């Protein structure tokens, strides 16, 4: 049975919209990451796709986790605490980093008991940490270039490198412990120069701090590793060669290196089958209305700058068509430029590949519509 036959069978059995998550592909992505970056401990960015089954599969593979909220923290913690029986001083640090640099005071108070590993990038955050979570191990997030990345980060996160030593000194003066530094070059980073510059910045800050007697020993290189959405995307393996060379040049063996891949792990593991529920020719263009949209699995079109893809299960003469969602909001347009057969009918299916990242994770219930049913292929 080929892929299309299998998808049609699953759609007939489970209904649509149907999001199919392939855990064999998820394992393959994790193993590819570890094979090419053996020195780096993977902390999967839960925000990319927070399905519990994804967390479980990656944990079984050896992954740690990057969380950004109390709910994400507890989702991971409550699962892994039952399975990780090793006697380690920093159980949570080994498996979780709270990498949102801004955390509200109630959240800090609630996670204090777990002695978490957290990021910060400003003095106000240090004051909150001192008052509400002084058990934490701190990682200073640095502002680095993110030119050319699909989603930029530098405008919202990261301390200016020139302020780094002051923020490290300030933390230690408060009796807090700074473990290392972190950065993020932006999501879907295809400009590998960003990594080279960022690693130089991180190395300078870390080594200057060590020379002053501060025992920093951790570098978190964030995420942004490129996903092969199309043939124009540079290969992850090429980036890995560059990164490994820079690690050896810049960091002693006692320095731990972390990364927070999200998109890289899950983008290619999911396929969506949607159904045409209406069609009309509007201003000479064929509009296909489907039972999923930008408020649901295609939310990445809005929040992630993602360019969707569609494939029909039927052949036929094609033209440029529009594909729009089911809600009554005219904003719910998925794409106005898709090459599809002009004679598809109501009840026909469309397939969308590489839709595992930032899709169902940010689905809503707008207009009373529910998101796609999720099927896990283990």
Q: Which residue has the tokens 């940490």?
A: 129
Cα gap 52→29, rounded to integer Å = 17
Taking the whole predicted model, whether its pTM rises above 0.75 is answered as yes
d(CA 300, CA 236): 22
The residues of the chain that CATH labels 2.40.37.10 are 3-19+267-377
Q: How far apart are CA 368 and CA 365, in angstroms?
A: 5
125 by DSSP, 3-state: which? helix
Q: What is the Cα–Cα distance from 79 to 31, expressed in whole angstroms?
A: 22
CATH 3.20.20.10-classified regions of the chain: 24-266
328 catalytic per annotation:
yes
Q: Tokens representing 103?
A: 């955390």
Measured CA to CA, the distance from residue 280 to residue 289 in angstroms comes to: 8
Query: Domain 24-266: which topology?
Result: TIM Barrel (3.20.20)
Encoded tokens for 99? 């990498």
Q: What is the pLDDT of residue 91?
A: 65
Per-residue pLDDT of the chain (378 residues; tens, 9 = 90+): 688 899 999 999 999 999 999 999 999 999 999 999 999 999 999 999 999 999 999 999 999 999 999 999 999 999 987 776 554 545 667 899 999 999 999 999 999 999 999 999 999 999 999 999 999 999 999 999 776 566 555 567 889 999 999 999 999 999 999 999 999 997 787 788 889 999 999 999 999 999 999 999 999 999 989 998 888 888 999 999 999 999 999 999 999 999 999 999 999 999 999 999 999 999 999 999 999 999 999 999 998 888 999 999 999 999 999 999 999 999 999 999 999 999 999 999 999 999 999 999 989 999 999 999 999 998
The CATH superfamily holding the domain 3-19+267-377 is Lyase, Ornithine Decarboxylase; Chain A, domain 1 (2.40.37.10)
Given the residues 42, 133, 189, 328, select the one marked as catalytic: 328
């Amino acid at each position: 049975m080929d892929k299309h036959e299998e998808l049609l069978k699953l759609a007939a059995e489970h209904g649509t919209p149907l999001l199919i998550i392939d855990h064999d592909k998820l394992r393959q992505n994790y193993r590819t990451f570890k094979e090419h970056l053996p020195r780096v401990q993977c902390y999967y960015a839960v925000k990319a796709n927070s399905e519990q089954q994804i967390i479980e599969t990656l944990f079984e593979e050896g992954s740690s986790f990057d969380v950004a909220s109390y709910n994400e923290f507890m989702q991971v913690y409550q699962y892994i605490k039952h399975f990780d029986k090793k006697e380690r001083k920093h159980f949570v640090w080994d498996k979780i980093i709270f990498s949102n640099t801004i955390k509200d005071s109630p959240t800090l108070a609630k996670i204090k008991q777990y002695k978490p590993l957290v990021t910060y990038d400003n003095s106000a955050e240090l004051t909150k940490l001192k008052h509400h979570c002084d058990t934490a191990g701190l990682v200073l997030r640095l502002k680095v270039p993110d030119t050319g990345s699909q989603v930029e980060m530098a405008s919202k996160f990261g301390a200016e490198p020139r302020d780094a030593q002051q923020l490290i000194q300030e933390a230690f003066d408060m009796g807090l412990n700074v473990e290392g530094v972190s950065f993020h070059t932006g999501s879907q980073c295809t400009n590998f120069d960003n990594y080279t510059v960022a690693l130089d910045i991180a190395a300078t800050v870390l080594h200057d701090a060590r020379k002053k007697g501060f025992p920093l020993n951790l570098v978190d290189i964030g995420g942004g590793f490129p996903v092969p959405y199309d043939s124009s995307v540079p290969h992850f393996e090429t980036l890995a060669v560059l990164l490994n060379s820079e690690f050896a040049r810049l960091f002693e063996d006692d320095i731990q290196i972390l990364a927070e891949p999200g998109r890289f792990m899950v983008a290619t593991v999911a396929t969506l089958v949607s159904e045409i529920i209406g069609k009309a020719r509007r201003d000479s263009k064929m509009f296909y209305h489907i039972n999923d949209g930008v408020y649901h699995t295609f939310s990445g079109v809005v929040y992630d700058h993602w360019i969707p893809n569609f494939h029909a299960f039927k052949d036929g003469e094609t033209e440029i068509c529009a594909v729009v969602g089911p809600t009554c909001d005219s904003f719910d347009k998925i794409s106005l430029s898709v090459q599809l057969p002009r004679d598809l009918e109501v009840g026909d299916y469309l397939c969308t590949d590489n839709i595992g990242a930032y899709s169902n994770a940010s689905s809503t219930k707008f207009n009373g519509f529910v998101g796609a049913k999720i099927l896990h292929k283990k």
